[in-house]
Amino acid sequence: MSGKHESAHGHVSGRAIYTDEVKLPEGALRLHPVQAPHAHARIVSIDSRAAAAMAGVEMVLTAADIPGENDTGPILHDEPLIPAEYVLYHGQAVAWVVAQTEAQAQNAAAAVVVEYEPLDACLGIAAARAANAYHLPVATVARGDYESALSRAPLRLRGEIMIGGQDHFYLETHTSAAFVDSEGLVQVISSTQHPTETQIIVARVLGLPAARVVCRCLRMGGGFGGKETQANAFAALVALTAKLTCKPARIKLNRQLDMQLTGKRHPFFARFEVAFDAHGVLLALDAELYADGGYSCDLSPPVLMRAMVHIDNAYFIAAVRVRGWIAKTNLPSNTAFRGFGGPQGMLIGEEIIDRVARALKLPADLVRERNFYSEPDRNQTHYGQPVVDNHLRTLWDQLKASSQYSERRAAIGLHNQGSGQRKRGIAITPVKFGISFNKTEYNQAGALVLIYTDGSVQLNHGGTEMGQGLHSKMIVVAARVLGIDAKRIQIMTTATDKVPNTSATAASSGSDLNGQAIKAACETLLARLREPAAMLLEGAPEDVVFAADHVHLRHAPAARIGFTAVVKAAYSARISLAATGYYRTPGLHWDATLGQGHPFYYFAFGAAVSEVEVCGYTGMFELRRVDLLHDVGQSLLADIDRGQIEGGFVQGLGWLTCEELVTSAQGRLLTDAPSTYKIPTVCEVPEDFRVAFFERTEASSTQTIFSSKGVGEPPLMLGLSVREALRDAIAQFGHASEVALASPATPEAIIDAIERVRLK
């Protein structure tokens, strides 16, 4: 299918409305935080008298103002909305000033006097390991006798790696607005990926039943996982303000506050021991993963688990033990970020492959191929799910051919012989990514479809739009099932009073889940419309066909009538024109304690070839060419999917090469603005960028919506090819059997790696 993003015109003309631009009943109050200057401290006292007397100030919110539970934790209840006793990270808000303007709130925040008793802070994974400070007991996923496999194996190596975090850097920072309506209901408009959870947490904080809170989200200017849970606190703050003052309130964090107050991609530290044979075939793996959870648990357990079940990437390892810990640190609470731990797990897996290949002096691509999951006896993951519909080898071979991998490898070898300080490298890496929420209960969705008597349609579903094109795809689904023109369909703001009890739009399953729910609702409507259509067409209901915005009998396509005529007839015959739809993904089960089950409905596959040229003086590199081949199934909207593949890759590239979070010795984030935190821009996009969809011939064994596949996250991990290409180039500066490269591979890290290779 071709077509454009449903808001494309709005995006480029500026007419698309975001949360902060939604009109509220009257002028809204603004909030600004009073931030703690310590990463860990006891709050001795807060004196807000002077601030409260300042111009425009309505009130100063503290923990004492919360009528319900002072907690916004999505899994554990360990996340105070406003801390009463302890500051747990640098910059944490201990109070919020509410004023008529943002400037007034900010001025008054500086006048709030807070007395602290500073405490020792735990900053980072190393400190947490030393102090044994973890949020939860160790999690384990294991299969086979890794111990004896490791001790018997002739070839073994050990390693460790530290992986940096990543700021979401959505263009629209955290934003929420709230007012109390004439019925006393709390109406929340939030830039949230999870309106239902936002509703529940607002209700929790206000001490109200969920039925008295409505949460809406039309669209986000990006979420990337950063608004899966972390929007809840800001929504709760404006809802609390609206409830206490009886005036509308809104909050929009500036970039610096957004970066200081909210969690990021989890930094990880990993230690591993791997056994392999002389061909590079992996025999056993024992790995320890430490994720920096920050001060509260948030979504860290499922993020860690996804890392643990993606450490294999596309490779079969017979005997495995992976253990994982969530470090409890005095940092903002790290959270979901595109890939949800998968990228960190897969980076470790690729790190292991490269070290094995180098130790054996074998080409890394060959070692990758030798370890691929394959039928019949090397297809079972270490968590018990078989890898079926595995097209990776075909895809891989196609990409190798289309990118002329072997020829370019040879040419690069020649180039490097004659080049002093500019070395080139190339790498091909695979992606296998499980699609579905690990937590089985999240894999459900609902929809509400309303047909009006003029033949126009309102489409409500539980998913949120964050730029990924979900709304556009959902219009495609409804139009296809109803056989009508997409122009008839109006997509509605996602709202908890239209479709209740929804899941977060996440895990790349937004269109899989909501698409099926919409299909179910539309099929219900079609079944009802058949009767009146058959009457009009003078045929049998089962022969009625809805297509091309018209309705006809199977054997008489020419004698067609308009869709509107059928709708009108249905209304006259007193047939309901509204229907809900519901879907739950079949066949899933997962035991989080055992780390075993069948958590994913299917796997997404892709592969990438990247070529770089590295400068031995500066550590700067040029991304010369990138070829991506990705399996989107039957694309629902080709241009959107292409955008997801390109954007995902570039976001992965940023995480792996230029985005570096630096924290001071006191725990203050030093890189809290675009001036110090470098995200990739159009300048970093490869000059020669070739993106293709994998064309499948065989049918799939899973019934996805119109045979499409989730595409939101998997392409991010195609970026790993850049890291491996860099390593390939760095190796050319010496003769090392190991290339230790920090992540992110900034120019400093690259120079450092080159120096170490030169010394060997």
Q: In this chain, which stretch among 159-167, 332-340, 534-542, 609-617 interacts with ligand MOS, using CB under 6 A?
A: 332-340
Candidates 507, 607, 726, 739: give the one binding ligand MTE (CB under 6 A): 507
Query: Quick one: what does residue 346 bind among ligand MTE, ligand MOS, none, with the CB cut-off 5 to 8 Å set by partner type?
Result: none
Count H helices and E strands in the chain, helices first.
19, 29
Decide: is 219 part of the binding site for ligand MOS (CB under 6 A): no
Decide: is 338 part of the binding site for ligand MTE (CB under 6 A): yes
Q: Closer CB to ligand MOS, residue 228 or residue 273? A: 228
Query: Quick one: what does residue 222 bind among ligand MOS, ligand MTE, none, with the CB cut-off 5 to 8 Å set by partner type?
Result: ligand MTE
Q: Closer CB to ligand MOS, residue 259 or residue 395? A: 259
Q: Closer CB to ligand MOS, residue 88 or residue 466? A: 466
How far, in Å, CA of 60 to CA of 46, rounded?
10
Q: In this chain, which stretch among 210-218, 337-345, 355-363, 546-554 interacts with ligand MOS, using CB under 6 A?
A: 337-345
Candidates 259, 348, 470, 482: give the one binding ligand MTE (CB under 6 A): 470
CA dihedral over 367, 368, 373, 375, signed as positive or negative:
negative
CB of 129 to ligand MTE, least distance (A): 28
Candidates 225, 384, 469, 616: give the one binding ligand MOS (CB under 6 A): 225
Decide: is 340 part of the binding site for ligand MOS (CB under 6 A): yes
Q: Are 645 and 628 in contact (CB under 8 A)?
A: yes
| CA Rg value for the chain | 27
CB of 223 to ligand MOS, least distance (A): 6
Candidates 73, 80, 332, 712: give the one binding ligand MTE (CB under 6 A): 712
Query: Quick one: what does residue 390 bind among ligand MTE, ligand MOS, none, with the CB cut-off 5 to 8 Å set by partner type?
Result: none
Cβ neighbours of residue 494 closer than 8 Å, sequence gap 6 or more: 195, 216, 217, 218, 460, 461, 462, 463, 464, 465, 502
Q: In this chain, which stretch among 45-53, 94-102, 336-344, 520-528 interacts with ligand MOS, using CB under 6 A?
A: 336-344
Token match 């979070």: residue? 661
CB of 651 to ligand MTE, least distance (A): 8
629: nearest Cα among 600, 658, 604: 604
Candidates 70, 193, 440, 708: give the one binding ligand MOS (CB under 6 A): 193
Query: Quick one: what does residue 650 bind among ligand MOS, ligand MTE, none, with the CB cut-off 5 to 8 Å set by partner type?
Result: none
Q: Which two tokens stand for residue 494?
A: 């996602």
Q: Closer CB to ligand MTE, residue 506 or residue 705? A: 506
If phi > 0 it is left, if psi is from -120 to 50 it is alpha, else beta; for residue 512 that is: alpha
Read off the DSSP letter of residue 328. Answer: E
Candidates 217, 506, 513, 521: give the one binding ligand MOS (CB under 6 A): 506
Q: Site for ligand MOS (CB under 6 A): how many residues?
A: 10
Q: In this chain, which stretch among 84-92, 334-342, 371-379, 495-503 interacts with ligand MOS, using CB under 6 A?
A: 334-342
Q: Are 163 and 719 in contact (CB under 8 A)?
A: no
Query: Quick one: what does residue 652 bind among ligand MTE, ligand MOS, none, with the CB cut-off 5 to 8 Å set by partner type?
Result: none
Q: Which two tokens stand for residue 23?
A: 């009109």
How far, in Å, CA of 374 to CA of 364, rounded?
18
Query: Quick one: what does residue 468 bind among ligand MTE, ligand MOS, none, with the CB cut-off 5 to 8 Å set by partner type?
Result: ligand MTE
How far, in Å, CA of 113 to CA of 37, rounded?
12
Query: Quick one: what does residue 510 bind among ligand MOS, ligand MTE, none, with the CB cut-off 5 to 8 Å set by partner type?
Result: ligand MTE
CB of 710 to ligand MOS, least distance (A): 10
CB of 34 to ligand MOS, least distance (A): 30
Binding mask 697-726 for ligand MOS (x = CB under 6 A): ----------------x-------------
How far does Cα 123 stand from its chain's mean position?
25
Q: In this chain, which stretch among 104-112, 316-324, 438-446, 460-468 interacts with ligand MTE, using CB under 6 A?
A: 460-468
Q: Site for ligand MTE (CB under 6 A): how many residues?
A: 21
Q: Which stretches does DSSP call E strand in 55-185? A: 57-61, 86-87, 93-99, 113-118, 139-143, 155-163, 175-180
Q: Closer CB to ligand MOS, residue 58 or residue 228? A: 228
How far, in Å, CA of 75 to CA of 303, rounded?
12
689: nearest Cα among 605, 606, 608: 608
CB of 340 to ligand MOS, least distance (A): 4
How far, in Å, CA of 120 to CA of 116, rounded?
13
Query: Quick one: what does residue 146 bind among ligand MOS, ligand MTE, none, with the CB cut-off 5 to 8 Å set by partner type?
Result: none
Name the β-bridge partners of 628. 608, 691
How far, in Å, CA of 253 to CA of 102, rounded?
10
CB of 728 to ligand MOS, least distance (A): 29
Candidates 208, 220, 327, 336: give the one binding ligand MOS (CB under 6 A): 336
Q: Are 224 and 466 in contact (CB under 8 A)?
A: yes
Cβ neighbours of residue 558 closer than 8 Å, sequence gap 6 or more: 552
Candidates 196, 505, 596, 708: give the one binding ligand MTE (CB under 6 A): 505
Decide: is 435 part of the binding site for ligand MOS (CB under 6 A): no
Cβ neighbours of residue 314 closer than 8 Å, sequence gap 6 or more: 368, 371, 372, 373, 392, 430, 431, 432, 605
CB of 229 to ligand MOS, least distance (A): 10
Decide: is 462 part of the binding site for ligand MTE (CB under 6 A): no
Candidates 83, 223, 293, 349: give the one binding ligand MTE (CB under 6 A): 223
Q: Are 672 and 256 in contact (CB under 8 A)?
A: yes
Of the listed 351, 611, 713, 724, which one is catalytic?
713
Catalytic residue list contains 713: yes
Candidates 3, 384, 467, 633: give the one binding ligand MTE (CB under 6 A): 467
Cβ neighbours of residue 579 closer than 8 Å, sequence gap 6 or more: 448, 449, 521, 522, 524, 525, 528
Q: Are 705 and 511 in contact (CB under 8 A)?
A: yes
DSSP per-residue codes, 585-607? -TT-EEETTTTEEE--SEEEEEE
How far, in Å, CA of 749 to CA of 756, rounded?
11
Query: Quick one: what does residue 466 bind among ligand MTE, ligand MOS, none, with the CB cut-off 5 to 8 Å set by partner type?
Result: ligand MTE
Decide: is 511 part of the binding site for ligand MTE (CB under 6 A): yes
Decide: is 507 part of the binding site for ligand MOS (CB under 6 A): yes
Q: Closer CB to ligand MTE, residue 298 or residue 351? A: 298
CB of 477 to ligand MTE, least distance (A): 12
How far, in Å, CA of 250 to CA of 229, rounded?
18
Decide: is 338 part of the binding site for ligand MOS (CB under 6 A): yes
Which residue intervals of 144-273 are DSSP H helices? 146-152, 195-206, 231-245, 255-261
Candidates 89, 224, 268, 295: give the one binding ligand MTE (CB under 6 A): 224
CB of 598 to ligand MOS, least distance (A): 19
How far, in Å, CA of 92 to CA of 267, rounded?
20
Q: Which two tokens stand for residue 428?
A: 């091909």
Core vs surface per residue 14-29: b (16+ CB within 10 A) or e: eebebbbeeebeeebb
User: Which residue's C-beta sits nearest to ligand MOS?
Assistant: 225
| Torsion, CA 504, CA 509, CA 512, CA 516, rounded to 10 | -20
SS (H, E, C) 136-152: CCCEEEEECCHHHHHHH
Q: Closer CB to ligand MOS, residue 80 or residue 225? A: 225
Active-site positions?
A: 713
Residues at the interface with ligand MTE (CB under 6 A): 222-225, 338, 466-468, 470, 505-511, 644, 647, 710, 712-713
Residues at the interface with ligand MOS (CB under 6 A): 193, 225, 228, 336-338, 340, 506-507, 713
